[in-house]
Structure 1
Amino acid sequence: MISEEQFQAELDRIIHTSLQEDIGEGDHSSLACIPAEAVGMAKLLVKDEGILAGVDFAKQVFQAVDTDLKMETVLKDGAEVSYGDIAFYVKGRSRSLLMAERLVLNSMQRMSAVATKTHSYVKLLEGTSTKLLDTRKTTPGIRALEKWAVRIGGGENHRFALYDMIMLKDNHIDFAGSISQAISQTKNYLEELGKPLKIIVEARNLQEVEEILECGGVYRILLDNFDYPMTREAVKMIGNQSLTESSGGITKEALRKYALCGVNYISSGSLTHSVHNLDLSLKAV
């Protein structure tokens, strides 16, 4: 996984590019009718039900826009919210509040949606030892926010990008010629570079699971589109030689059934690619 410093750099980039995109040469609506010295207060109003996410990110946005903006937090990230709840108050220059408004709302609505869906999935896994993972199926440009929201919702992050973990999927294996060739070449590559990256290998059937095990040195075996009997058999074959991960269009209804097969992880792209934003508003007080 990426370091905290790398993750913060991603957040800083998102804030910078998003504000530039939205404000450009200036917020002419505010500049036209609000005096520079005007001061105001706003509240973040919840108009929905779910898991709140993005409060800490909102603080960073407000500070990036205007270091004099002061935020009073009422509800923290991860709180269960319902219609009428107030997440925070923020006070300062009115123009600054308006410049920050859209980025704060867009981010928090999206993050809260991801956290809410993740939380609902995690609850289905209670009583099992299986952990829920996200994927790289994220909105371009804001992956850091969505993966942060997954953690707030109780899930765990898979690799952040192509550079922080090796994942040999079906196309890698087919282009390399075989599973054993793909794994052998990967091990040589990492040794030459001196990079201690973990290796995950996708298996499409039990024969491929056996071939992966024969190669050894694989951190996790991804059981892609396995049915329940195949998953149970694969878990039995693998034992403690590698960790196991189920993936491939696993629905909410099937989630617990796969967990009960004994896999260590279940990954779901729908945590980030299929969510409906929570309704939040920033209202003047």
Structure 2
Amino acid sequence: MLTTYAIDTVVQAALTEDAPWGDLTSAVLIPELAVATARLQAREPGVFSGGEVFASAFRLTDPRIDVRLLVADGAAFDTRAVLAEVSGPARGVLQAERIGLNFVQRMSGIATLTARYVAETAGTTARIVDTRKTTPGLRALERRAVRDGGGYNHRFSLSDTVMAKDNHLAVLTAGGRDLSEALREVRGRLSHTTHFEVEVDRLDQIEPVLAAGIDTIMLDNFSPDDLRAGVKLVAGRALVEASGGVNLTTVRGIAESGVDIISVGALTHSVNSLDLGLDVVLHVDLPAEA
């Protein structure tokens, strides 16, 4: 769950970075009592995400600014759709504009790309999930955007799940130690509530890994034929995750292999921000105070 505290912590850091001593341009150009209304408008179609994050940028800059969200997170929209309206002291509106846009554009870009992957896998049992290949400091926001696009989240951090990848296994089996025996020993030390996932990159690793009683097996960079063979070998004894080589061209074939999970790093590490704009539609200069 993306809490107000988590949102405000990230947004405040961004606002401080952008205007450490205030907005010099607005301070010298804009009358102190001027008010403005601006509309967040789509310049291309997409899926909306980050409404509360967008609003936080203005609220933290000046609590007198009102943000009215017109589209819910997870909703699809067309070009020229008005997504939100911002009204209040003009200096604050202009100061928060770029930070608010940066967040909502990136989150909506992630949600939009995720929705495309989900659409490509329609009719299969595969879930589209994200990875830890997120922007440092923005993981909670980017993970929320994936959910808004209809995807699911993988482990949130290294503290959540035991996930043994190739380098872990290389160290674990150094000196010729038996893989099944080493993994069973690890399994025996874990709580029954702790999920255990292991990555393999060859079909002949599947049986030794399954023998240890793991919960999820990741088939990394397998060909479509090997994915189907791997799913058949697992035969329901663990969840099967496909990883590597996933893009919008290949994802349908991967999903049709019968895997349960498809992890897609591109959802967060290679996404383009959506083209949204914030345009002032009303600007009023109030008379100076007596």
Which residue among 204, 208, 211 is the counterpart of 1:214? 211
Q: Which residue of 1 aligns with 2:121?
A: 125
Which residue among 39, 42, 54 is the counterpart of 1:43? 39
Structure whose residues are more often helix by fraction: 1
Superimposed CA distance per residue, residues 118-138 of structure 1 (whole angstroms, 9 cap, x where no aligned partner): 111100111111110111111
What is the rounded CA distance, in whole Å, between the counterparts of 1:102 and 1:183 in structure 2?
A: 49
Q: Which residue of 1 aligns with 2:76?
A: 80
- Identify if the C-alpha distance between structure 1 residues 182 and 108 changes in structure 2 by more than 3 Å, giving closer, same or farther: farther
What is the rounded CA distance, in whole Å, between the counterparts of 2:96 and 2:269 in structure 1?
A: 25
**Would the aligned equivalents of 2:187 and 2:212 in 1 still touch at CA under 8 Å?**
no
Which residue among 159, 163, 168 is the counterpart of 1:163? 159
Over aligned residues, Cα RMSD in angstroms? 1.9
- Identify if the C-alpha distance between structure 1 residues 183 and 9 changes in structure 2 by more than 3 Å, giving closer, same or farther: farther
Paired residue secondary structure (2:249): helix
Question: Stretches of 4+ moved more than 4 A in 1?
Answer: none
Question: Which protein has the larger Cα radius of gyration, Structure 1 or Structure 2?
Answer: 2
What is the rounded CA distance, in whole Å, between the counterparts of 2:22 and 2:182 in structure 1?
A: 52
Which residue among 194, 199, 203 is the counterpart of 1:202? 199
Q: How far is the alpha carbon of 1:91 from its aligned partner? A: 0.9
Q: Does 1:269 align with 2:290?
A: no
Paired residue secondary structure (1:100): helix
Q: Which residue of 1 aligns with 2:52?
A: 56
Q: How far is the alpha carbon of 1:69 from its aligned partner? A: 1.7
**Would the aligned equivalents of 2:14 and 2:99 in 1 still touch at CA under 8 Å?**
yes
Name the amino acid aligned to 2:224. Answer: Y
Name the amino acid aligned to 1:132. Answer: I
What is the rounded CA distance, in whole Å, between the counterparts of 1:182 and 1:196 in structure 2?
A: 20
Superimposed CA distance per residue, residues 231-260 of structure 1 (whole angstroms, 9 cap, x where no aligned partner): 122212222221110011222111111111
What is the rounded CA distance, in whole Å, between the counterparts of 2:108 and 2:157 in structure 1?
A: 22
Structure 1 residues without counterparts, runs of 5 or longer? none
- Identify if the C-alpha distance between structure 1 residues 180 and 11 changes in structure 2 by more than 3 Å, giving closer, same or farther: farther
**Would the aligned equivalents of 2:110 and 2:149 in 1 still touch at CA under 8 Å?**
yes
Q: How far is the alpha carbon of 1:77 from its aligned partner? A: 1.9
Percent of aligned pairs sharing the same letter: 39
My pick for the range that moved more, 49-58 or 8-17, is 8-17
What is the rounded CA distance, in whole Å, between the counterparts of 1:126 and 1:14 in structure 2?
A: 34
**Would the aligned equivalents of 1:198 and 1:219 in 2 still touch at CA under 8 Å?**
yes
Pairwise mapping of residues 10-159 of structure 1 onto structure 2 (< 5 A)?
Answer: 10-159=6-155
Q: How far is the alpha carbon of 1:61 from its aligned partner? A: 2.5
- Identify if the C-alpha distance between structure 1 residues 136 and 182 changes in structure 2 by more than 3 Å, giving closer, same or farther: farther
**Would the aligned equivalents of 1:168 and 1:182 in 2 still touch at CA under 8 Å?**
no
**Would the aligned equivalents of 2:216 and 2:239 in 1 still touch at CA under 8 Å?**
yes
Q: Which residue of 1 aligns with 2:183?
A: 183
Paired residue secondary structure (2:37): strand
Taking structure 2 as the reference length, the TM-score comes to 0.89
What is the rounded CA distance, in whole Å, between the counterparts of 1:183 and 1:62 in structure 2?
A: 51
Q: How far is the alpha carbon of 1:185 from its aligned partner? A: 5.2
Taking structure 1 as the reference length, the TM-score comes to 0.90
Structure 2 residues without counterparts, runs of 5 or longer? 282-290
- Identify if the C-alpha distance between structure 1 residues 28 and 208 changes in structure 2 by more than 3 Å, giving closer, same or farther: same
Q: How far is the alpha carbon of 1:172 from its aligned partner? A: 0.5
Paired residue secondary structure (1:221): strand
Q: Which residue of 2 aligns with 1:224?
A: 220
* Number of residue equivalences: 277
**Would the aligned equivalents of 2:130 and 2:146 in 1 still touch at CA under 8 Å?**
yes
Q: How far is the alpha carbon of 1:188 from its aligned partner? A: 5.3
Q: Which residue of 1 aligns with 2:251?
A: 255
- Identify if the C-alpha distance between structure 1 residues 110 and 182 changes in structure 2 by more than 3 Å, giving closer, same or farther: farther
What is the rounded CA distance, in whole Å, between the counterparts of 2:87 and 2:185 in structure 1?
A: 57
